[in-house]
Amino acid sequence: MRPAVFLDRDGVINENRPDYVKSWEEFRFLPKALEALKQLSTVSRPVVIVTNQSAVGRGIITLERLTHIHNQMERAVTAAGGRIDALYVCPHPPNAGCNCRKPAPGLLLRAADDLNIDLTASVFVGDSLSDVTAAHTAGVHPILVRSGKNRVCLGKPEAQALIDGCPVVNDLTAAVASIL
C-alpha cells in the first residue's frame, strides 16, 4: 500500500463557478495551479482528483461533456509537466443519498481499493467543509485551501471543530509546499 495526494477540483485546481463549469471554455485554472501540479508530480505518490459534480445529476451538463472537460484538464496538466493519476467523480445531486458525494467518503474509499492506497498516510487538499469531513471520515489528513468555498465557512463556529488541527493554507501552491 502507498500514500496518495487527493485533490478536490473546483476551488483547488480551477475557479469555483456558482453556475457550475459547463464547458471547457468556462474552465479556468486558478493562478499557479498548473505550476503546483507540476511540482506535485515530483513526489512518488499517486495524484488523485475526487470531485462532486452535481451538474450532471441536475441535468445541467451530460456525463460526456464532463468527461470532455476532464480530458482537456488532464491534457493541460500534462502539457505543463504535471500529472493526474486517477479521477473519481460523484455525478449525483445533493439529495441522491449516495455514498460517493462528499462529505461521504465513498470516492476516497473507492480510490483506495482501486489503487492500493494507504488512506492513513494520505492527504486530501480541499476547499470546503465537505472535503474536510470526507477526509476525516476516511482517515485521510486534510489540508484546507482558502482559494475556494471555505472563505465563507471559515468564520462559522460550527466549522471550527472540523478545522481545528487541519492546516489552512492560501492555495494549492502552499498545500503542495507543505506536502513536499
Q: Are 147 and 170 in contact (CB under 8 A)?
A: yes
Which residues are designated catalytic?
8, 10
CB crowding 68-103: b at 16 or more within 10 Å, else e: ebbeebeebbeebebebebbbbbbbbeeeeeebbbb
SS3 content of the chain, % helix, strand, coil (to 5): 45, 15, 40
